């Protein structure tokens, strides 16, 4: 579902074979690709109740509207109702009785104009935000920091480095034709985009609100990386157009000024926003603002009839000297002849300075934001730590690594599969891609796929690297882990021993990798009932960990626990109790009190 809204048309007198119906559908398709038509109210209500993640826009005849509004007005996803009838005066009272009714129309043209405005606001409201508390870096480890915010800070530079070529437009056009195959109006725009893209500016195409606008917003919102990769050329063109205008208009924006943005957010997200006052907020798509406060306030107020959401007026104090957040006035450049509109590039970060309620309505709030720059120390510490961890040979490779880091394994798999299909001539890079896919599949609990990818990586490494290279050892170790997890202990032991042989040859005697491998081998011998050999390997692991790790490291607790398990099996209960006690002592110092390993 590319659009974040569904258009429903309910009329008990609809004749699906009538020319009037077909003409009306074509006009509606210029606004919504996702249109559902019903001539039965009960079926329509059942459909409403199935919609979970999209907003609902309803066109309904006057006679049916009077009845159905009683049953649907409290549905959380219902955003707006449009009465379409022959007698405007007769049903005008519905607009007064039901605030969710946007108007009563007897002609399709003004109805479409009103519908277009609401659909646009739905898209604007769907812009994702990520939040980062000022306390996160000081009070939490990197893995505990808001993961969505971690994603946003590096994703922009990765997107802008994605490679594309002359075939990129052909690729997105082919993809879009398939997505809009039943929408004749949108197919016309796709053909126009294909043949005349360079005759208009990227901002013109974006503000046209045609397929490219919806697809870009959807792919950024849902992190659909296969689509984002196809759209890399347009993302770069749009961002650079904004940057160019920002530079050209710098003389017009010499002083700090204020812009406004009105939208709704879910009550759940608003609670998170309130808890982040003083922290940072990122808008995860390209987003528009206005220098006219009343226009933006009007947008925020129109959302107050939606169930489960809060109206927000963002008041943004902009510092033009901060070029890390490019923006531009698009008056005279936009597809529509709008005034006072300022367009910001995607993934722009602001600091949340104040959040206060409105005196107009208890579901309307004012949120004051200020510009932040690349010199923001909190931001830089976070970004640099992640950047180091996801180093790679290309933007796409780093994107996949970032998704693994964030636990987004399905998305990571899409990225690395795309890299694989690009048929790189660098054999070692291909080996690394197979290795990453092995890690991904292992985390997805797909052992057969993981083993295949690890073995493919191992084949390439064995042909192109020295026999004792660390990549080969790591591959052996990970293959062993997969076999271990599926209880194939004989195969696991074989590959652990191969990894250990290389580790002992290439690493210092007290390296933690040697200890971890010894631990794993010891546990397999314990499973097989060879307790003396198990004890020997696990004691070796513990000795190395004691030399190489801090005294309160969790791996020490794990090692003592393993010894306790082996001593128990050997019926040496005194030694077992001593080992378990030591494991608990270290665990209490190293782990949070609620950690499952302490239960």
Segment 469-496, tens digit of pLDDT? 999 999 999 999 999 999 999 999 999 9
Using CA of residue 398, residue 402, residue 403, residue 404, what is the dihedral sign?
A: positive
Within 10 angstroms of residue 585's Cβ, the number of other Cβ atoms is 14
Calpha distance 3→119 (Å, rounded): 9
Structure confidence at residue 221 (pLDDT): 85
List the chain pLDDT tens, one digit each, 599 residues: 688 899 999 998 888 788 888 899 989 998 998 899 999 999 999 999 888 888 999 999 998 988 899 888 888 889 999 999 988 888 898 888 898 899 999 999 999 999 999 998 888 888 888 887 766 555 444 444 555 566 667 888 888 888 777 788 999 999 999 999 989 889 999 999 999 999 999 999 999 889 999 999 998 888 888 888 889 899 999 999 999 999 898 888 878 899 999 998 888 889 999 999 988 888 889 999 999 999 999 888 887 777 778 999 999 999 887 766 789 999 989 988 777 899 999 988 899 999 999 988 888 999 999 988 766 666 677 677 778 888 888 888 999 998 888 788 998 999 999 888 886 678 999 999 999 999 999 999 999 999 999 999 999 999 999 999 999 999 999 999 999 999 999 999 999 999 999 999 999 999 999 999 999 999 999 999 999 999 999 999 999 999 998 888 888 999 999 999 999 999 999 999 999 999 998 888 766 555 555 55
Structure confidence at residue 597 (pLDDT): 57
Segment 520-540, tens digit of pLDDT? 999 999 999 999 999 999 999
Structure confidence at residue 323 (pLDDT): 63
Q: What is the arrangement of strands in the sheet containing 101-105, beginning at the earlier edge strand?
A: 35-38, 5-10, 55-60, 78-84, 101-105
Domain ranges of the chain: 5-125, 129-389
CATH node for 5-125: 3.40.50.2300
Structure confidence at residue 143 (pLDDT): 46
Burial of 437 (C-beta count, 10 Å sphere; 0-12/13-18/19+): buried
Rg, Å, the chain Cα set: 30
Q: What is the arrangement of strands in the sheet containing 257-266, beginning at the earlier edge strand?
A: 129-132, 280-283, 348-357, 364-371, 309-318, 257-266, 287-290, 341-344, 327-329
CATH node for 129-389: 3.90.176.10
Contact call for residues 134 and 279 (beta carbons, < 8 A): yes
The H-assigned helical ranges of 278-394 are 293-302, 377-389
Render the burial of 122-157: b for 16+ CB within 10 Å, e for the rest: bbbbbbbbbbbbeebbeeeeeeebbebbbbbbbbbe
- Look at residues 393, 404, 481 and name the one whose alpha carbon lies nearest to residue 431: 393
Structure confidence at residue 378 (pLDDT): 61
Distances (CA, A) of 167 to 156, 233, 406, 422: 23, 10, 31, 14
């Amino acid at each position: 579902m590319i659009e974040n809204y569904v258009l429903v048309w309910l009329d008990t007198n609809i004749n699906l074979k009538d020319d009037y119906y077909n003409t009306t559908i074509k006009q509606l398709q210029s606004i919504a690709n996702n249109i559902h038509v019903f001539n039965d109210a009960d079926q329509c209500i059942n459909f409403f109740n199935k919609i979970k993640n999209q907003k609902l826009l309803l066109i309904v005849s006057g006679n049916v509207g009077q009845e159905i509004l009683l049953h649907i007005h409290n549905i959380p996803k219902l955003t707006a109702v449009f009465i379409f009838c022959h007698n405007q005066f007769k049903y005008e009272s519905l607009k007064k009785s039901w605030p969710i009714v946007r108007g009563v129309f007897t002609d399709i043209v003004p109805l479409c104009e009103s519908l277009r405005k609401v659909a646009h606001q739905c898209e604007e409201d769907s812009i994702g935000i990520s939040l980062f508390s000022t306390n996160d870096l000081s009070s939490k480890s990197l893995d505990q920091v808001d993961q969505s915010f971690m994603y946003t800070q590096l994703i922009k530079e990765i997107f802008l480095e994605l490679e594309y070529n002359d075939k990129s437009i052909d690729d997105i056009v082919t993809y879009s034709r398939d997505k809009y195959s039943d929408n004749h109006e949108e197919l016309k725009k796709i053909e126009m985009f294909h043949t005349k893209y360079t005759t208009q500016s990227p901002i013109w195409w974006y503000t046209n609100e045609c397929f490219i606008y919806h697809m870009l917003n959807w792919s950024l919102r849902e992190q659909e990386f296969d689509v984002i990769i196809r759209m890399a050329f347009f993302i770069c063109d749009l961002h650079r157009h904004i940057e160019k205008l920002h530079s050209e208009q710098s003389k017009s924006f010499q002083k700090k000024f204020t812009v406004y943005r009105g939208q709704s957010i879910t009550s759940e997200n608003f609670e998170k926003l309130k808890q982040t006052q003083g922290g940072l907020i990122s808008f995860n798509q390209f987003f528009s603002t206005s220098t006219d406060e009343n226009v933006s306030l009007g947008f925020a107020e129109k959302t107050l009839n939606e169930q489960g959401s809060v109206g927000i007026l963002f008041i943004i104090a902009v510092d033009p000297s901060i070029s890390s957040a490019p923006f531009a006035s698009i008056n005279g450049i936009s597809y529509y002849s709008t005034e006072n509109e300022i367009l910001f590039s995607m993934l722009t970060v602001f600091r949340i300075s104040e959040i206060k309620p409105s005196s107009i309505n208890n579901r309307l709030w004012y949120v004051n934001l200020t510009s932040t720059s690349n010199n923001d120390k909190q931001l830089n510490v976070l970004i640099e730590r992640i950047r180091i961890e996801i180093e790679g040979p290309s933007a796409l490779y780093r994107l996949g690594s970032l998704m693994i880091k964030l636990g987004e394994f399905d998305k990571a798999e899409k990225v690395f599969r795309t890299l694989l299909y690009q048929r790189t001539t660098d054999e070692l890079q291909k080996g690394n891609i197979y290795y990453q896919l092995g890690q991904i599949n292992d985390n997805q609990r797909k052992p057969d796929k993981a083993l295949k990818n690890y073995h493919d990586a191992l084949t390439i490494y064995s042909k192109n690297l020295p026999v004792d290279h660390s990549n080969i050892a790591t591959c052996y170790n990970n293959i062993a882990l997969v076999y271990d997890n599926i209880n194939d202990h004989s195969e696991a032991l074989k590959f652990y021993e191969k990894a250990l042989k290389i580790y002992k040859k290439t690493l210092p005697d007290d390296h933690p990798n040697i200890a971890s491998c010894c631990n794993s081998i010891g546990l397999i011998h314990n499973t097989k009932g060879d307790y003396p050999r198990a004890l020997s390997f696990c004691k070796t692991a513990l000795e190395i960990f004691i030399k190489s790790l801090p005294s309160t490291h969790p791996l020490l607790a794990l090692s003592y626990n393993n010894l306790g398990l082996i001593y128990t099996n050997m019926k040496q209960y005194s030694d077992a109790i001593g080992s378990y006690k030591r494991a608990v002592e270290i665990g209490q110092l190293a782990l949070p009190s609620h950690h499952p390993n302490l239960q």
